[in-house]
Amino acid sequence: MRMWIRSVLAVVCVVSLAGPVFAQRPADEDGYEMWLRYREVVDAGRLAAYRGAMRQVVAQGTSPILRSAADELTRGLSGLLGTPVTTATTVGDDGAVVIGTPAGSAAIATLGLDTRLASLGREGFLIDRVPVAGRQAVVIAANDDAGVLYGVFHLLRHLQTQQPLDAIATTSSPKVQIRMANHWDHLNRRGVERGYAGLSLWEWGALPNYRNPRYTDYARFLASLGMNATAINNVNADPRILTDQFLEKVAVLADMFRPWGVRLYLSINFDSPRRIGGLKTADPLDPDVRRWWADQVENVYRYVPDFGGFLVKADSEGQPGPQGYGRTHADGANMLAEALAPHGGIVIWRAFVYNPEQTDRFREAYDEFVPLDGTFRDNVIVQVKNGPIDFQPREPFSPLFGALAKTGTMIELQVTQEYFGFSNHLAYQGPLFVEALQADTYVKGEGSTVAKVVDGTVHGYRLTGMAGVINPGTDRNWTGHPFVQASWYAFGRLAWDHELTAEAIADEWIRMTFSNDARFIEPVKAMMMISREAGVNFRSPIGLTHLYSQGDHYGPAPWTAGLARADWTAVYYHRADAEGIGFDRTATGSDAVAQYREPVARVFRDLALIPDEYLLWFHRVGWDHRMKSGRTLWNELVHKYYEGVDQVRDMQKTWDSIEGLVDDRRFHHVKALLEIQARDAVWWRDACVLYFQTFSQRPIPDAYERPEHPLEYYRGRERVIYFPDTWANQPPPGVPQ
């Protein structure tokens, strides 16, 4: 027995010296917590430093937002430090985190921070390590409780990403005023247009009685990114949202969002005076219509005293608007703005419009809105999609940015992957968002980026904002694909600070959502950073666009033609024939390029200067046109389609390489989705290459694998239903959102 015991001890000793034989896999997670997981810090040195500096949360004040901030900080620190953190109203010892405003906290008021806070506005914050009441403390201070809340989330992010304690001092304030989530949720059947993560979050049938805790977590996620607004219903709006039946439900959501600094907005139907008001007209200049809207606004504010305002889609894709009465967008927006102004509300009027008589849909928003510049009331802001068509995988920036010198202009970006494979594909949108925001309009010389137009730097707008169309639903992980969370995160971070890089944001998100292990971070970050470009390459390279199947927008259908409107078809955009391919938007075509300022217009119109990725947006060229790579256009097109597939396959290899560094549940979920994405990428590649080959009459170079099926197979495949139609009140097939 003694010899046996010695043998066992010897083995234990060897194993202890050599390290664990089997590394313990991380516990399975379902993704519900997204980037607010608050797991104990694994770096022993960092953990010891954090514990020594942050043992207690001190909050003086009782406002709902300050209470949220204190509770979140206590919750976050307790998880990150692996030990309960106490709360108090006075500093009792070293190691306190003191939060508050000079007006609401005696402890903060004694620190003389007024000068430092003065430049940070209402929502900005500062974090520093200073003595408070003779004790060393971490201070989070702001001019308003909302700023304190954002500072709390910043501190927790600093700890979650395991940054040094001596780098904790910072000041930060948002670049734009309105940082908004746009939902395309319907009122009936809990449908979500372009939603790929389950049913709508809003349980209209259970409201107002049941306050689902998920609503609070939703608001927490928005607040953690500094987002302060949400429009909860589809811009293809149901007029019933303004009835008492729904307003009492809306009021509950507003109550649950308010402690997190999130203000509620509603999308409205312009025809509401007729649809639910009993009037015979919705003419914005009709006195009865104006009176009706004023009464409706009064009623909304009775239910939601801090209501933000209306988001409006009008005269677009069949939605009613002022043009039906011979009026302008400004007439319609100003009528609503007049009703909202006494309450401090605003109108967000979408510029996503296109007229069936227009020869080039690209031109429409610019041509309709520029002549109206200066005619909108000062509580109106125009919301412009990042590109001139419709959230395509790559678009040039909309020429409307910078063109409205007297009208506030906010950008609309899409998080939900309408054109990026729904919740089946990994396509981190951070690079797309940054590409759009950092595009230089040159409207007031070099450096007049879209971001600086949107934040008011260029034209001094009174109202500024950014909106992101998001898709959270009843899926346990909120977004369907785990990595769609990253695009929501990226939008929120950029709405707060558009100078951040997509790579830095990805690094934060990976650390907070998965792991701080460099073996995991670096390969996964590289995978994320290439994922958007891969999606462009296997769908619509070199400036091709709008090649998707109609109705679902999922699979390839470059052959689509003969619909009710030409600009709903693929052939309208690519114009391929035996001579070449592309849409001529130079002076010999629609001259949409003239809507841009110089030198942007010169670059876009000149074949020698235009970047390859925008070539077919602005030029029609022959199949043998020589590209910058030295390849012919046909060979470059084939190369890009195949490169996109290779990039997805590389993403699969990367993800496989990190097995064991992430929990099995999420690992196998993403692995399966990447298999679907690789299958779909081949589908897109083969369908598009074979289709365009019917015009080019040129061979696929020998170096590339052959398509498995003939073109007719792919033309038939689009009829297979991959996603059931669960969207209530959806526009007719072929109508994009």
Catalytic residues: 317, 390, 418
Distance CA 610, CA 724 (A): 41
| Neighbour count for residue 734 (Cβ, 10 Å) | 15
User: How would you classify the pairing of strands 125-132 and 170-172?
Assistant: antiparallel
DSSP-assigned letters across all residues of 515-560: ---HHHHHHHHHHHHHHHHHHHHHHSGGG----BPTTT--SB-TT-
DSSP-assigned letters across all residues of 140-202: EEESSHHHHHHHHHHHHHHHHTT--GGG--EEE--SSSEEEEE--B-SSTT-BTT--SSS-S-
* Residue whose token pair is 């300022």: 597
Q: What is the CA radius of gyration of the chain?
A: 27
Distance CA 205, CA 612 (A): 51
Distance CA 490, CA 580 (A): 38
Q: Dihedral (C-alpha) 518, 524, 526, 531: value to the nearest 10 degrees? A: -170
Give strand ranges (E) for 270-421: 309-312, 346-350, 380-385, 409-414
Strand partners, 181: 230, 468
Distance CA 309, CA 344 (A): 8
Strand partners, 265: 231, 309
| Backbone torsions φ then ψ of 467, nearest 5 degrees | -125, 140
Amino acid letter, 413: L
CA 605, 606, 610, 614 dihedral sign is: positive
Half-sphere exposure of 119 (CA within 13 A, CB side): 5
- SS3 of 427, please? coil
For residue 90, how far is the Cα from the chain centroid? 40
Half-sphere exposure of 533 (CA within 13 A, CB side): 14
Amino acid letter, 678: A
